[in-house]
Amino acid sequence: MKRYVVTAFIWLLLVLPLQAAAEELLMARSKQPFPETMLALQESIRAHGYTVSRVQRVDIGLTGMGYKTDKYRIVFAGKLDEIRYLSEKAPQLIPYLPPKISIFAEGSQTILVSANPKLYAEIAGDAVEPAFFDRWESDLRSIFYDVSKAE
């Protein structure tokens, strides 16, 4: 009995702060310029066991249109076995795969944005265990943490 009480207490202490911080978009700011941040991002993605499948430019001609930056990329990343698993189990997720991270310059710093993987759990419904996406969220937060602390 005591053990359950202790476990419940620890769970409450750990989970309540996360509840307060539930976010639909995950965002991070790197104090480094865009090229260094892009490098740190790709390194951290690989260190977490994911493959960068494509880096898409979406900024061609931005400065010509009067924007202050032309550094905007979309980084697609995933694990082959997981993408295959999800596209079979929950085909409604396919339009959202592989997961992506937007990265863009803001002055001399850089901002990262991604959907919270909880979104995918909502789309997948009962077809996939929510724990699958909890792990993605944890990895994504860890990647963003790495990038924001990179020097």
Footprint of other proteins (CB under 8 A): 6, 9-10, 13, 19-25, 27-29, 31, 51-54, 56, 58, 60-62, 65, 67-69, 72, 74, 76, 78-80, 83-84, 87, 91-92, 94-98, 100, 102-104, 106-107, 109, 111, 113-116, 119, 122-123
Cβ(72)–Cβ(104) below 8 Å: yes
The CA-based dihedral angle spanning residues 80, 81, 84, 86, taken in that order and rounded to the nearest 10 degrees: -110
Cβ(26)–Cβ(115) below 8 Å: yes
Nearer to other proteins, 33 or 69 (CB): 69
How near is the Cβ of 134 to other proteins at its closest, in Å? Answer: 18
H or E element that contains 92: none
Nearer to other proteins, 47 or 58 (CB): 58
How near is the Cβ of 5 to other proteins at its closest, in Å? Answer: 11
Nearer to other proteins, 65 or 129 (CB): 65
Which residue carries 């104090």 as its tokens? Answer: 31
Cβ(145)–Cβ(130) below 8 Å: no
